[in-house]
Amino acid sequence: MAQETVRECFKEPAQDITQLVQALRVFAAERDWAPYHSPKNLAAALSVEAAELLEHFQWLTEAQSRSLAPVKKAEVAAEAADVFLYLLQLCDQLDIDLIQAARLKMVVNAVKYPAP
């Protein structure tokens, strides 16, 4: 892919999520991963990455999980990124606006769990 094309993707000061989605589209297209990225497969990959994130905490106490060592925190950040990248690709495939869906869900939760 030409550098110009990539710069083209990120020329406008778009929202940061939109930039990531654009980059993920180019990344997958360059590797011909489209056939593998069905929503069903992406949902499975998302679930697998979420488990890899959980794995870092499974034997820790809640207290220990609140004070991770720098190296451990970096590993957790990398797993959180994997979860996020698959979530963005799944929503992109299904044409779901993740930010809008999150805002709507918070409104729903505010009704479901009234503040004291």
**Which residues ranging from 55 to 114 are in contact with its own copies (CB under 8 A)?**
55-66, 68, 73, 76-78, 80-85, 87-88, 90-91, 93-94, 96, 98-99, 101-106, 108-110, 113
Instruction: In angstroms, give the least distance from the CB of 72 to its own copies.
Output: 10
Q: Which of residues 15-34 bind its own copies (CB under 8 A)?
A: 15-17, 19-20, 22-24, 26-27, 30-32
Nearest to 52 by CA among 24, 80, 73: 80
Using DSSP's 3-state secondary structure scheme, residue 4 falls into helix
Instruction: In angstroms, give the least distance from the CB of 70 to its own copies.
Output: 11
The C-alpha atoms of residue 81 and residue 5 are separated, in whole angstroms, by 24
- Residue 9 is encoded by which pair of tokens? 């993707």
